[in-house]
Amino acid sequence: MSKLFNKARLIGLAVAALIFVVDQYIKSLMLGPLALREKGTIELIPFFDLTWAQNFGVSLGMFEATSPEMRWGLVAVTALIAFIVFIWMMREKAFGDILGLSMILGGALGNIRDRFNLGYVVDYADLHIGTFRPFLIFNLADAAITIGVLIILARAFFLRDKDDNEPAVETATET
């Protein structure tokens, strides 16, 4: 097996593909058999409903695309970001980082496909406590991206890449 496609990276690619496929399948259920667009809301349990939402922006609805040019601009920018995440994942050595990046990649691809095909991202997951909604309506791709980012941040903040036995590099020089 080549160095580029080691076991960890292949698992990462499989995780990204799985997230993409499951995300698109769930969204097809929302658009098709469940007819969520027409129903608006399907109450499931006291704190979680399926609620139709079209997200024309990116994260948290920011940078909303109000014209075809802006839509395709968002597709291009998010595709570029997904490509950068892919390159980063293929260069990464630590499995934890690869896993986080694969979640971001799979989710990003799912949302990019929505925006490319529909002009918006299909959101449906509505977590709430009574009328209090701690999150905007989201989808599986959004959840995967968020969890992936949290994994990357946690690993960056709490894990050290350097071995504690390595000697410290001196910052001062003698003159």
Catalytically annotated residues = 123, 142
Q: What's the CA gap between 13 and 152, in Å, rounded?
A: 16
Could you tell me the CA-to-CA distances from 107 to 19, 67, 173 in Å, in that order?
A: 6, 24, 48
Enumerate residues 6+ apart whose C-beta is below 8 A from 74.
57, 58, 63, 65, 115
- Whether the CB-CB separation of 101 and 12 falls below 8 Å is answered with yes
Residue 106's closest CA among 62, 147, 135, 75? 147
